[in-house]
A and B are shown apart, each in its own frame.
Chain A
Amino acid sequence: MTSAVTGFDAATIELLATSLREVFTAHPDAQGVAAALDELGWDEVSASDPAAATTLLFTEHGRALAISRLLDDIVLRELTPALPAGTGNRAVLYCHPQHALLLGPLDDITELVTLDGAGNVGIIAAESVSARPIRGFDPGSGWLCIDEIPTARPLLVGDAGQRAVAAARRALCAEIIGICTTALDSAVAHTTSRIQYGRQLATFQAVRHRLAESYVAVEAARAALAAAWADGGVWTARLAKLRAGQAQAELMRHTVQLFGAMGLSQEHELHRRVTRAAALDLLLGGHTAQADEVGAALLAGADLIRVVEI
């Protein structure tokens, strides 16, 4: 599997991916991850090729099912120049029509920067809200939910809000692709080793075609993400997020089937990938909602831009 963006050569990518894997394996918590990335000099890597670095970082984040506030960093990097100076630590509150989500606890946070899918931005004091851990589909995410949000002072940040949403969506695409890649690899390994009716599962055409379709879905998401990076715009980041969301839905449907009853069990790790991918799909807009919005925009007269040029 190659990176969606090929700014670094293959050997460098492999080296960086290995280092990131070690970071995410050794540090299950957000603080540890941040410190380890500092030690790795990740800022420099990122500065030399932001697209490739971000894609790698979040792909490995997904593969490891890591928990961190790295997505907040992506959002705040876009927003901070447009925000009033703050005094303490800031975290991002991701606002959706029914849910406002935090990626980690409020312990050392003083301000929350609110961001919704349309790029609207506000600031609220962290002490003015109470957050409860999410115990939903993906209890392992470590995310928190805020039920009552005080009215945020709306901020005029120009297009920084939209750019932040686009940047976050691209990172989320990479993370979803990372999760899908490991799920597909494990399904290939499983169906190659498990024998039924005296032959490997992967010798049955119905099984092989599900795996092939899963591969196509991930490659499609990868291509859409590369196009989103090349273009840098809001519209293309949304299209990429739509494809990544679609890919995880298709691929997880196939892989859950291929693992048989094993994939449904608590002790098997597959369910963690299914639920994390589903949660990430919904963050800043799930694929069906995105398709709705894109289609509505087209019906309202939006240009069917080609996005990709030769």
Chain B
Amino acid sequence: MTDTFAADLDSYRTALRANLMRESSLHAWRTRHYATTEERIADHAALMGELYRQGWNRYGWPVAAGGAGGDERHRAVLYDELAAAGLPIPTPHLLLETLGPPVSRFAPELAARYLPAYLRGEEWWGQGFSEPEAGSDLASLRCRARRDGDNYVLSGQKLWTSHGATATRLVCLVRTGTPESRHRGLSMIMVDVDTPGVSRRPIALASGDNELAEVFFDDAIVPASRLIGAEGQGWAIAMYLLQYERAMYAWMSAADALRRLRELRDQLSTRLAAGGTLPGAAAQRLGQCYSQLITLRARSAQTVRRLAAGATVGPEASVDKVLLGGAEIALYDLSRDLLGPEFVFDDTATVAQWRSEWWYSRSATILGGSAEVQRTIIADHVLGLPKEATV
């Protein structure tokens, strides 16, 4: 391990690839299935610990925050090489990719304090944005943070918080302005889940997996030093965050999806080799889905390179998000249709994972701003259409 990796992406990629293939301590993660989300996150966090110990997942993060330097491209390469080596992208990396950049950028002291533990898999964070009355409509948030001396007092509720039930900390978007202030009166703050007055309840998805949670704040006292950026800057930071949620998340998901498509193809080839048959149009849909994933990679790579160059990726990141949603839905519908009765009736761990991911794939067009919101962003800000009429 040398610092040349931070400056030389290709040498990082080559060394990483060789290591992932060679390292026998990682092999166990290739074939594991999990009965619960909690079990999966904990085991994936252990994989992060292993990657951190060897240094690989530190590239792309600031040295001051436990990283080893480099930029977004290093992270993109890590996800890609993990997937190519048949390894999962550790679940906690999903929210690290969304929350890590804004915390590093707007609260470097918090990043220095807590990000190293995140990279080691010792803790992970949840994203507290959505509320009962505010899903994609973020400007309607009501969860209050009232300034009281050196603290904020939080009261209200968050909903659909990814990994919220197991996270150590929550990065929340809260209202510090008046209820009418819409996007101007928002702030972002990091809350420890063991703060008195914070309680949470897992929400089981239809698959039975506790992917999400609801979180209640009952006059929870949070130090003002936990603010990310300045008071009232929440919306701007959320927009900064969304670049990553839309672009890096798309790249990461595409890497995982390509691994899953390869596994689906292998399952189907095995069936064919055993004399089985496939439903009509199977080949066409497989080819179609593969081309969608490659196209998503092509688009997403351009965006990742722009982020790495320090450019602001504006509303055009919604194109990446729409392509991701389409590709994920197509992949998992394909798994359901081609696995057929096996998908619906069988009880093996392999099929249970397809089912669970099928449900989770439905969220690709909901979380992070629904597919409808993305299309509206493109209509407004990319195509420059006249504003939608309001009722």
What residues of chain A have their CB less than 8 Å away from a CB belonging to chain B?
A: 188, 191-192, 199-200, 202-205, 208-209, 211-213, 215-216, 219-221, 223-224, 226-227, 236, 239, 242-243, 246, 288, 290-299, 301, 304, 306-310
CB neighbors of A among B71-115 (8 A):
73, 76-77, 80, 84
> A203-B387, A227-B294 in contact; A308/B301 too (CB < 8 A)?
yes
Q: Could you jot down 29 A-B contacts, CB within 8 Å?
A: A202-B385, A204-B388, A208-B388, A209-B379, A211-B379, A211-B385, A213-B375, A215-B383, A216-B319, A216-B323, A227-B297, A243-B295, A246-B288, A292-B284, A295-B283, A295-B290, A297-B287, A298-B265, A298-B287, A298-B290, A299-B272, A299-B286, A301-B269, A304-B262, A304-B290, A306-B294, A306-B297, A308-B301, A310-B76
Q: Does B305 contact A188, Cβ atoms closer than 8 Å? A: no
Tell me how far the C-beta of B292 lies from the nearest C-beta in chain A, rounded to whole angstroms.
8
Interface centre among B261, B282, B374, B375 (most CB of A within 10 A): B375
Q: How far is the CB of B321 from chain A (nearest CB, A)?
A: 10
Q: How far is the CB of B269 from chain A (nearest CB, A)?
A: 6
* Nearest CB in chain A: distance from B144 CB, A: 32
The complex places the Cα of A242 from the Cα of B299 at a distance, in Å, of 16
In this assembly, does B204 line the interface, its C-beta being within 8 Å of a C-beta of chain A? Answer: no
On whether the beta carbons of B376 and A208 are closer than 8 Å, the reply is: yes
Complex: how many Å from CA A203 to CA B384?
11
Q: Are A211 and B287 in contact (CB-based, < 8 A)? A: no
**Complex Cα spacing A293 to B290, Å:** 12
- Contact A304-B287, Cβ < 8 Å, known A212-B375, A220-B323: no
Q: How far is the CA of A192 from the CA of B272 in the complex (A)?
A: 52
Q: Which of A192, A205, A296 contacts B283 (CB 8 A)?
A: A296
Indicate whether A216 sits within 8 Å of B322 (C-beta atoms), given known contacts A243-B291, A292-B287, A295-B285.
yes
B309: Cβ under 8 A from any A Cβ: no
Docked Cα-Cα span, A300 to B338, in Å, equals 16
Contacts of A290 in B (CB 8 A): 287, 291
> What is the bound-complex CA distance between A200 and B388, given in angstroms?
9
Which residues of B are in contact with A by a Cβ distance under 8 Å? 9, 13, 73, 76-77, 80, 84, 258, 261-262, 265, 268-269, 272, 278, 282-288, 290-291, 294-299, 301-302, 304-305, 319, 322-323, 372, 374-376, 378-379, 382-383, 385-389
Add 8 more A-B contacts to A299-B269, A306-B297, A307-B297 (CB < 8 A).
A202-B386, A203-B388, A203-B389, A204-B388, A211-B383, A295-B286, A304-B262, A308-B294
Q: Is the interface of A mostly helix, strand, loop or mixed?
A: helix
Q: Pick from B9, B261, B322 the residue with the most CB of A within 10 Å.
A: B322
- Cβ contact of A226, chosen from B265, B298, B383, cutoff 8 A: B298
A242/B385 in contact, CB under 8 A: no
Known contacts: A292-B284, A295-B288. The answer to whether A215 contacts B269 by CB under 8 A is no
Chain A hits for B258, CB < 8 A:
304, 306
Across-interface contacts of A236 in B (CB, < 8 A): 294
Does A226 lie within 8 Å of B302, measured CB to CB?
yes
Min C-beta distance of A309 to chain B, whole Å: 7
CB distance from B338 to the nearest CB of A (A): 10
Q: For B269, give the chain A residue with the smallest CB separation.
A: A299
- The answer to whether B295 and A224 touch across the interface, beta carbons within 8 angstroms, is yes
A220 nearest CB across to chain B (Å): 5
- B379: contacting residue among A208, A239, A297, A304, CB under 8 A: A208
Residues from chain B with Cβ under 8 Å of A226 in the complex: 298, 302
A310 & B378 in contact (Cβ 8 Å cutoff): no
Task: Say yes or no: A215-B294 contact (C-beta < 8 A), given A191-B385, A301-B269, A310-B77.
Answer: no
Question: Residue B84 contacts which of A224, A239, A306 (CB distance < 8 angstroms)?
Answer: A306
- B302 near A209 with CB under 8 A, answer no
Cα of A304 to Cα of B261 in the assembled complex, Å: 8
Are B294 and A224 within 8 A (Cβ)? yes
C-alpha gap A83/B379 in the complex (Å)? 50
Using Cβ atoms and an 8 Å threshold, which residues of chain B touch A297? Answer: 287
User: A212 is contacted by which of B285, B286, B298, B378 (Cβ under 8 Å)?
Assistant: B378
Residues of A within 8 A of B385 (CB): 188, 191-192, 202-203, 208, 211
What residue in chain B is nearest A305 (Cβ atoms)? B294
